[in-house]
Amino acid sequence: MPAHTYVKYFGTPRSGRPRDPVLVANCDLKDLQAAAGGRACFGFGRIQGPGFSVISIRFQIGSIQIYWLADASDVQMWKTIDAWRASNAVPVALVEAGMAMYSVHELDWIPGKSRSRTDDMRGECAGDNSAAFLSFAVGLASSGLLEEQATTDLEGIALSHVEVNVLITERLQQYFLPEPLSGRPMAVLPVTKGGPGRSTLH
In the prediction, which pLDDT does 201 show? 34
Asked whether residue 153 is assigned to any structural domain, the reply reads yes
Residue 61 lies in a domain: yes
Residue 179 lies in a domain: no
Mean pLDDT of 176-194: 57
Q: How many C-beta neighbours within 10 Å does residue 16 have?
A: 9
Summarize pLDDT for 123-178 with one digit per residue, the tens: 999 889 999 999 999 999 999 999 999 999 999 999 999 999 999 999 998 887 66
> What's the average model confidence in pLDDT over 104-112?
88
Under a CB-based contact definition with an 8 Å cutoff, are residues 100 and 11 in contact? no
Query: How many Å separate Cα 135 from the centre of its chain?
Result: 16
Residue-level pLDDT at 189: 57
Compute the CA torsion angle 116, 152, 72, 202 (nearest 10 deg).
-160
Work out whether the CA dihedral 152, 154, 156, 157 comes out positive or negative: negative
154, containing H or E segment: none
Whether residue 160 is contained in a domain is answered as yes
Q: Is the pLDDT of residue 101 over 50?
A: yes
Q: Would you say residue 196 lies in a domain?
A: no
Q: Is residue 175 in a domain?
A: no
Residue 154 belongs to domain spanning: 3-170
Structural domain count, the chain:
1
Asked if the structure places residue 176 within a domain, the reply is: no
Using one digit for the tens of pLDDT, what is the confidence trace for 11-69? 999 989 999 999 999 988 988 888 877 789 999 999 999 999 999 999 999 999 999 99
Quick check: helix, strand or coil at residue 200?
A: strand
**In sequence order, which ranges of the chain are alpha helices (DSSP H)?**
3-10, 29-35, 75-87, 130-143, 145-149
